[in-house]
């Protein structure tokens, strides 16, 4: 019985590491605009309509890169903050594993859909 308990405990501890990779689609956006549901309010405030410039400016001001899904208005934090910079404001496909508890994607790759 002890062995069974140890095996179950080990499985539970290792379960996050056993998560399968998946692909997630959306726009690389800054966390401030994602929380607001999109760039629209910032576009009005700043008099621009450039998602890349908006995203980069907001990240420079302290935001984080996230993956924003326009239809559902959901967004996911990205654990890698270097890879998304090249895709700021663009529609992308992010590969990685999702930590549902923190809504964070552990990024293994980012590419333009195609």
In b/e form, how buried is each residue of 92-101, taking b as 16+ CB within 10 angstroms? bbbebbbeee
pLDDT tens track, the chain, 114 positions: 555 554 555 555 555 555 568 999 999 999 999 999 999 888 888 777 999 999 999 999 999 999 999 999 999 999 999 999 999 999 999 999 999 999 999 999 999 987
- CA max distance for the chain: 67
Q: Is residue 11 part of a domain?
A: no
Q: Is residue 13 part of a domain?
A: no
CATH number at residue 60: 2.40.50
**Total of domains in the chain:** 1
Query: Residue 31: its pLDDT value, please?
Result: 97
Query: Residue 46: its pLDDT value, please?
Result: 77
């Amino acid at each position: 019985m002890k062995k069974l308990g140890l095996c179950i405990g080990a499985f539970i501890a290792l379960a996050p590491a056993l998560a399968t990779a998946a692909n997630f689609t959306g726009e690389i956006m800054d966390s401030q605009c994602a929380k607001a549901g999109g760039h629209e309010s910032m576009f009005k405030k700043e008099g621009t309509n450039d998602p890349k410039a908006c995203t980069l400016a907001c990240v420079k001001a302290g935001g984080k890169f996230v993956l924003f899904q326009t239809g559902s208005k959901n967004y996911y934090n990205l654990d890698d903050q270097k890879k998304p910079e090249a895709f700021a404001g663009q529609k992308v496909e992010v590969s990685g594993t999702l930590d549902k508890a923190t809504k964070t994607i552990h990024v293994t790759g980012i590419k333009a859909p195609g």
